Amino acid sequence: MSTPARDRVLVTGTSGLLGRAVAQLLHDRGYTVRSLQRSVVHDPWESVRGSVADPDVAARAVAGVGAVVHLAAKVSFAGEWTEFVATNIVGTRQLVAAAKHAGVRDFVFVSSPSVAHFGASIAGAGAGTADPSRARGFYARSKAAAEELALAEDSPGFRVAAIRPHIVWGPGDTQLVERVVERARAGRLPLLDGGRALIDSTYVNNAAEAIVRGLERMEHAHGQALVVTNGEPRPVGELIAGICAAAGVPAPAFSVPGWLARGAGSVIERAWTAAGTRGWVHDEPPMTRFLAEQLSTAHWFDQRHTRAVLDWTPSVSIDEGLARLAEYYRGRS
């Protein structure tokens, strides 16, 4: 077996906002990029099409690369558990196994702080330990299990780091920004507890830079889970209002008690899944318990350890990110 090229990197999930930003940044920095994704996208780099959970596809994707950045995941507030298992757990297991067999040296698993969020507020904490049994919602539980199995393979010959960017957003984002904008435009976006919960978020360029730094600083980062944010906690209502202003839509004007939203979210989620209901924005229920908890509890993180390990600081502030988002929407009008 030939030695993989150290500057050749496989990036999975490049059809998403963050995956594409990571691939583009690596490309701009002189790495040879190969992407793995389900859909057909015309990229300036080599692309492999297929499912990360397919052993043959995974083996083909990792052949000859020296590093892997794994972002592909099922990201949703609702859905069947088996769907999350297939992509997030089985897919990660297949890719890790294929990478080790192919002689890949470095593996960055892109995770989420939700793997260590158990429903209570997080205020100035570190990364915490992923726990599939306590994480809230199928997405978080499956990502926690995937992070565990990836980090368990860390060794001097196969270095694994988990990078957990928190609430990534930016121009073209469909996971947060478009949901906020569409629901606000329709008058169906309440604030929970007045939007007072203090949260961290991460502008997409910063998240991509931190992930690439994780790869470049693998000697220091491997074996660890690192939460990445802008380090600018703001009330969730303020962040939502900033996104709405950038898009030119009215900010939410009414509030719902968090306890009520959490209870309603549990009921809606069960009914939505049982009925196979569709028709809301992005085929998602209007509320789930996990979403209600995220919107009504504080979650912001101490970034000192992350920044020391990665030797990195964010290059785009929240305000600059909102200005770029406004420019993006002006260009669409």
Terminal CA-to-CA distance of the chain, rounded, Å? 53
DSSP 92-123: HHHHHHHHHHHT--EEEEE--GGGG--SS-EE
Q: Are 238 and 195 in contact (CB under 8 A)?
A: yes
* CA pseudo-torsion sign 73, 19, 95, 307: negative
Pairing mode of beta strands 5-12, 32-37 = parallel
Tokens (6 digits) for 230: 């802008």
The CA angle 312-23-202, to the nearest 5 degrees, is 45
As a whole number of angstroms, the distance between CA 70 and CA 47 comes to 14
Q: Could you tell me which of 174, 168, 169 has the C-alpha nearest to residue 228?
A: 168
The DSSP letter of residue 219 is: H
* C-alpha count within 13 angstroms, C-beta hemisphere, residue 24: 14
Catalytic residues: 139
Q: Detail the DSSP E strand segments found in the chain.
A: 5-12, 32-37, 46-49, 65-70, 106-110, 122-125, 159-165, 168-169, 191-192, 198-199, 202-203, 225-228, 234-235, 255-256, 299-301
